[in-house]
């Protein structure tokens, strides 16, 4: 068992080395919890021995195959059990829509109406794992206080018992899942009493009883006749596995939907050559009953049944691929792709290390790696020619995957690897092909020899295609991101000039959405006679056009300042320029003429948020300046000016609206918080104060707008 202190993992004995506590601790705790809150399924996860991974230890109420994509999940994964451990709190998902909105990967694989609660199994000092339980879709949208209290108390009790067991070096052994076995069975396939079996046999429609795994434990003669398969061949087998024309994931999905939601489901299937049958599934927590009859009207039905020669599909494999595909859609840059593959795919396929290779100018380029104790082992491949006889280069250039289940096999085909051992014993080299061209190679390494059967190779190859698409998008995103940052850096001042009597500091933060380029700008311009000008503004939009216009405005303001125009004239001239350019965009602006020798500042404002002024005694007020309209709207505006005292020790805070605007945050509250922080910390060094204001503002969360901040402190 692993313990986590303050969110970090610590050492744990591996599962194979656990010794028995006594009774099946996890199973009993889970069963008791489910009974207390009337849940119909659940699972216990334990933290892995030496990695931040949750491993499913026990599942109850449903076959483990339902949760196959999440048997091993990274602690950073965006799923409820991982979130519960990270945040040390109960995570509640009220239903299908809530799941789709917050955890789209799970909703993609299990698009059924059910509610879920996930909780950490933790004491005050250590976390040992997590538990989730589920209810049918009919559960109320809110978790009741009784249910919440029972769940929290049960998890605390289990955590205490695990802590005691660990202290006594008695961690639990692996325990069997709590999935109910067949309610009825035996070679005769009877339903219980002979009379009950006779009654069911007389019914004109087919009846089957399935256990939770979907295996048939009873079928009446009418069911066998309708399906066309003897009862003896049906018993003990899954319906879709024993009947070829039902071997379609769509039909298996109806069984899964019934079990997950505990709602009745149905489907219609074609029994070759032309008979349509209706299947209606009635679930319970112990199994399912299936009613089979002839479909009365199928002429209107657009769906054609699977052909007898269609290859069988396995939903678990499809589910796993869909889940990982959903994870990769969340990746933005290349490093996001590498991290998601490490967090999601590496644990899911059981490998221990990862390398993602790309190519540049005919040479290999290491895009990222995880799991290697010595990074130099991987980085030595950086810059290696693609003509080199290495499996990574060969997979990238040929597009053919390679699987090596042992060191001997790899060394036999690629002797050059003899001089570069990496400490692993098996490898999968997956070519990453997107848009018909190779974009890289994904290398999965295994600590022990690992055979790769055909079905596993097929899954890994499919995952390679998904990774390739994500990597291609990420490389394009990174190129745009680099272009945007380069353009933004070129348009903003590289540094602020030193001024007599004025100390200055500035910060710029791009938006966290889109291309991360916007129209916010600031500048500080020294002039003659010891004066200076400060300007801050915001051009509408977050794109290259807005950034280009911002550069023109900043240049114009600097030019008008240099020739000696007064603040109101600078604003009028800039407004005229913006109109003459014919742009559909407009801009806000705040312009200051600073006279530190006389302790004065003259300000003109064009639709820009008012600045804050902190006095030497700590008092802060919002400067209610007179102002004119936004630049680029009116052809003949006036921009009145306001003179403000700026004695030594005063701090002026100029900012764009991104600093105080954030979804769900009232602007007045944000301004009040900013003023309070300025009161408390205004004496700090200006650079430190700038960092503090940005860190504790509304901008610290996800930013829908970019942020510019300019601080000015008058000094002797």
Q: What CATH number does residue 447 fall under? A: 3.30.450.40
CATH of the domain at 543: 3.60.40.10
pLDDT interval class at 318 (50, 70, 90):
low
Say if residue 512 is in the same domain as residue 615. Answer: yes
| pLDDT tens-digit map of 493-542 | 778 888 888 999 999 887 655 445 667 889 999 887 778 999 999 887 76
pLDDT interval class at 702 (50, 70, 90):
low
Q: Is 184 a domain residue?
A: no
Contact 611, 654 (CB under 8 A): yes
Say if residue 159 is in the same domain as residue 246. Answer: no
Q: Is 84 a domain residue?
A: yes
Q: Is 540 a domain residue?
A: yes
- Alpha-carbon gap, residue 14 to 49, rounded angstroms: 5
Say if residue 413 is in the same domain as residue 447. Answer: yes
Of 322, 405, 304, the C-alpha closest to 108 is 322
Q: Is 430 a domain residue?
A: yes
Q: Which helix (H) or strand (E) holds 216?
A: strand 216-219
Cα separation values, 645 from 599, 603, 623, 713, Å: 6, 11, 11, 12
Residue 9's pLDDT is what?
37
Residue 205's pLDDT is what?
85
Residue 108's pLDDT is what?
72
- Alpha-carbon gap, residue 594 to 324, rounded angstroms: 57
- Alpha-carbon gap, residue 313 to 248, rounded angstroms: 6
Other Cβ atoms within 10 Å of 355 Cβ, number: 26
Say if residue 587 is in the same domain as residue 656. Answer: yes
pLDDT interval class at 304 (50, 70, 90):
very low
- Residue 251: strand, helix, or coil: helix
Say if residue 228 is in the same domain as residue 160. Answer: no
Q: Is 186 a domain residue?
A: no
Average pLDDT over residues 95-119: 85
pLDDT top residue among 488 and 318: 488
- Alpha-carbon gap, residue 355 to 378, rounded angstroms: 8
Residue 36's pLDDT is what?
93
What mean pLDDT value characterizes the chain? 82
| CB contact set of 641 (below 8 Å; sequence gap of 6+) | 566, 567, 568, 602, 603, 604, 626
**% the chain with pLDDT above 70:** 84
Average pLDDT over residues 673-679: 90
Q: What is the distance, to the nearest Å, from the Cα of residue 326 to the centroid of all Cα atoms in its chain?
A: 9
Say if residue 531 is in the same domain as residue 651. Answer: yes
pLDDT at 437 over 60: yes
Say if residue 53 is in the same domain as residue 131. Answer: yes
Residue 712's pLDDT is what?
94
Say if residue 455 is in the same domain as residue 566. Answer: no
pLDDT interval class at 197 (50, 70, 90):
low
Say if residue 39 is in the same domain as residue 134. Answer: yes
CATH of the domain at 240: 3.30.450.20
**Which among 461, 483, 505 is the end of a domain?**
483
Q: Which long-range contacts (CB under 8 A, 24 or more apart) does 684-688 make?
A: 686/503, 686/504, 686/505, 686/651, 686/711, 686/713, 687/505
Cα separation values, 435 from 2, 271, 470, 677, Å: 43, 40, 12, 52
| pLDDT tens-digit map of 542-562 | 666 777 788 888 888 989 998
pLDDT at 240 over 60: yes
pLDDT interval class at 199 (50, 70, 90):
confident
Domain that holds residue 625: 492-714
pLDDT at 652 over 60: yes
pLDDT at 405 over 50: yes
Q: Is 323 a domain residue?
A: no
Say if residue 56 is in the same domain as residue 135. Answer: yes
pLDDT at 186 over 60: no
Average pLDDT over residues 431-435: 84
pLDDT interval class at 55 (50, 70, 90):
very high
pLDDT interval class at 142 (50, 70, 90):
very high
- Give the length of the chain: 716
Say if residue 81 is in the same domain as residue 124. Answer: yes
Average pLDDT over residues 334-348: 84
Of 45, 69, 63, the C-alpha closest to 323 is 69
Say if residue 530 is in the same domain as residue 649. Answer: yes
Q: Which of these ranges, 420-429, 617-626, 632-641, 662-671, has the smallest mean pLDDT? A: 662-671
- Total domains present in the chain: 4
**Which among 235, 260, 293 is the end of a domain?**
293
pTM metric for this prediction: 0.47
**Which among 148, 168, 188 is the end of a domain?**
168
- Alpha-carbon gap, residue 471 to 439, rounded angstroms: 7
Q: Is 321 a domain residue?
A: no
Residue 13's pLDDT is what?
37
Q: Is 178 a domain residue?
A: no
pLDDT top residue among 324 and 586: 586
């Amino acid at each position: 068992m692993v313990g986590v202190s303050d969110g970090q993992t610590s050492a744990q004995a591996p599962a194979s080395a656990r010794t028995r506590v006594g009774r099946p601790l996890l199973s009993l705790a889970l069963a008791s919890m489910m009974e207390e809150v009337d849940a119909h399924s659940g699972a216990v996860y334990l933290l892995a021995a030496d990695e931040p991974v949750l491993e499913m230890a026990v599942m109850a109420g449903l076959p483990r195959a339902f949760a196959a994509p999440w048997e091993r999940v990274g602690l950073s994964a965006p799923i409820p059990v991982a979130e519960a451990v990270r945040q040390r709190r109960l995570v509640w998902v009220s239903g299908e829509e809530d799941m789709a909105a917050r955890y789209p990967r799970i909703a993609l694989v299990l698009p059924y109406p059910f509610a879920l609660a996930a909780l950490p199994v933790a004491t005050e000092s250590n976390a040992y794992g997590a538990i989730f339980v589920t209810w049918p879709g009919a559960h109320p949208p809110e978790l009741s206080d009784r249910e919440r209290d029972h769940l929290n108390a049960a998890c605390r009790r289990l955590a205490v018992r695990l802590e005691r067991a660990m202290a006594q070096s008695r961690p639990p052994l692996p325990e069997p899942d709590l999935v109910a076995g067949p309610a009825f069975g035996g070679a005769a396939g009877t339903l219980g009493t002979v009379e009950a079996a006779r009654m069911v046999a007389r019914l004109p429609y087919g009846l089957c009883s399935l256990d939770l795994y979907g295996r048939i434990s009873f079928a009446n003669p009418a069911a066998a006749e309708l399906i066309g398969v003897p009862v003896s061949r049906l018993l003990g087998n899954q319906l879709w596995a024993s009947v070829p024309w039902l071997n379609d994931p769509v039909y298996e999905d109806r069984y899964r939907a019934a079990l997950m939601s505990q709602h009745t489901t149905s489907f219609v299937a074609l029994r070759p050559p032309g008979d349509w049958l209706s299947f209606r599934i009635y679930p319970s927590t112990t199994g399912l009953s299936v009613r089979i009859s002839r479909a009365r009207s199928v002429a209107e039905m657009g769906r054609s049944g699977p052909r007898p020669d269609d290859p069988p599909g396995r939903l678990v494999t499809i589910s796993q691929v869909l889940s990982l595909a959903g994870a990769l859609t969340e990746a933005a840059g290349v490093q996001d792709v590498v991290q998601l593959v490490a967090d999601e795919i590496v644990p899911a396929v059981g490998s221990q290390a990862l390398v993602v290779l790309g190519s540049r100018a005919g040479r290999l380029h290491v895009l990222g790696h995880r799991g290697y104790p010595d990074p130099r082992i991987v980085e030595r491949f950086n810059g290696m020619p693609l003509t080199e006889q290495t499996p990574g280069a060969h997979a990238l250039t040929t597009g053919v995957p390679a699987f090596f289940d042992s060191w001997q096999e790899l060394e036999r085909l690629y002797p050059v690897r003899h001089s570069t051992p990496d400490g692993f014993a098996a490898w999968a080299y997956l070519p990453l092909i997107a848009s018909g061209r190779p974009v890289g190679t994904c290398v999965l390494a295994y600590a022990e020899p690992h055979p790769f059967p055909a079905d596993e190779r097929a899954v890994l190859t499919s995952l390679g295609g998904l990774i390739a698409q994500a990597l291609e998008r990420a490389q394009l995103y990174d190129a745009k991101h680099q272009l945007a940052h380069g353009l933004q850096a070129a348009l903003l001042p590289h540094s602020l000039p030193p001024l007599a009597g004025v100390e200055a500091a500035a910060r710029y933060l791009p938006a966290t959405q889109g291309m991360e380029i916007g129209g916010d700008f600031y500048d500080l311009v020294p002039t003659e006679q010891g004066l200076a000008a400060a300007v801050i503004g915001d051009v509408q939009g977050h794109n290259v056009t807005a950034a280009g216009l911002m550069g023109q405005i900043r240049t114009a303001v600097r030019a008008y300042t240099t020739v000696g125009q007064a603040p109101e004239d600078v604003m009028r001239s800039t407004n005229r320029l913006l109109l003459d350019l014919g742009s559909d965009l407009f801009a806000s602006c705040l312009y200051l003429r600073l006279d530190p020798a006389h302790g004065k500042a003259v300000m003109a404002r064009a639709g820009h948020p008012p600045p804050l002024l902190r006095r030497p005694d700590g008092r802060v007020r919002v400067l209610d300046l007179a102002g004119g309209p936004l630049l680029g709207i009116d052809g003949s505006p006036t921009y009145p000016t306001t003179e403000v005292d700026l004695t030594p020790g005063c701090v002026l805070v100029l900012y764009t609206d991104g600093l105080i605007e954030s979804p769900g945050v009232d602007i007045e509250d944000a301004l009040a918080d900013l003023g309070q922080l300025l009161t408390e910390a205004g004496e700090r060094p200006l650079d430190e104060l700038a960092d503090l204001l940005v860190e504790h503002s509304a901008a610290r969360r996800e930013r829908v707008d970019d942020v510019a901040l300019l601080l000015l402190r008058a000094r002797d």
